[in-house]
Amino acid sequence: MSRNDQRNSERMSSDGYELYYWDGKYVGPGRAEFARLLFVEAGVPYKDISEGIMEKFRQADQQWTGFPTFAVPLLKKGSFEISQTPVICRYLGKQFGLFPDNEEDQWHAEQLNATIHDYIAEGRYAFHGIKPFESYFGQEKETQPYIDRFLAERLPKYMKHFEKMLAANDDGRSFVVGGKVTYADLGLLHVLRATAAQFPEAWAAVDYAPLVKAFKERMEARPNLAAYFKSEKCIPFSGNSMM
């Protein structure tokens, strides 16, 4: 390692983690919650930063001082910055030991991670079917058919797939891959919690996926997560976007 590389590495590791995202008062926990659950499970401190984020991303260039960022959430540690939620989750999983131990499990975890983010994106867009980048409020009537279709067709399809994923490892009695909790488990937990909060009736009807329901309860009972969900730090779901 060169001297410059060594100095950059020391600068990157010398500061704590900062997580930049929209203000939870307006958007709920959102995509940043995926990262928060990794911090909570690992017991690693971080700072949630929302002040001035909306104003910054209304600017034409949408740029930070570091590597180009398209949108938040943005994770920063010293001089190091990354965005894109699935990438942040994979990165933190490796940093915190919440990562599969063998290559096969690593790829399977990444497969599930991609599916999880496909699911949350579909759920989110159902609430913004007419104007994808504007608030749900103001298009409630027009976008309702998209929500109805998501509930009738897409939500059950994903839940049945998650059931198969869980059944493929230890008959669904532990984690999604391997024998320890990983970033993929925490991602799945978040989307299941979002589903239950946004669509309580549909969630109650998911009796065709008992392993999914048992997994959610088992993960929510983990000590660090259980304390977080009961605390004021845990931002309530907004109820209008699966976020």
Q: pLDDT band at residue 194, thresholds of 50, 70 and 90?
A: very high
Q: What is the mean pLDDT of residues 210-216?
A: 97
Q: Between the CA of residue 23 and those of 27, 28, 96, 171, what are the distances in Å? A: 7, 8, 26, 40
Q: Which pair of tokens denotes residue 87?
A: 């990438």
pLDDT exceeds cutoff 60 at 10: no
Give every CB contact of residue 178 below 8 A, 6+ residues apart in sequence: 100, 101, 102, 105, 169
Least confidently predicted of 50-59, 80-89, 108-117: 50-59
pLDDT exceeds cutoff 80 at 133: no
Q: What is the pLDDT of residue 135?
A: 78
Least confidently predicted of 118-122, 141-145, 183-187: 141-145
Q: Is there a common fold for 3-96 and 103-230? A: no
Architecture of domain 3-96 in CATH? 3-Layer(aba) Sandwich (3.40)
- Give the percent of the chain with pLDDT over 90: 67
Domain boundaries, the chain: 3-96, 103-230
Give every CB contact of residue 143 below 8 A, 6+ residues apart in sequence: 126, 127, 128, 129, 130, 136
Least confidently predicted of 13-22, 104-113, 160-169, 230-239: 13-22
pLDDT exceeds cutoff 80 at 8: no
pLDDT in tens, 26-61: 778 889 999 999 999 999 999 999 887 766 666 655
What's the CATH number for 103-230?
A: 1.20.1050.10
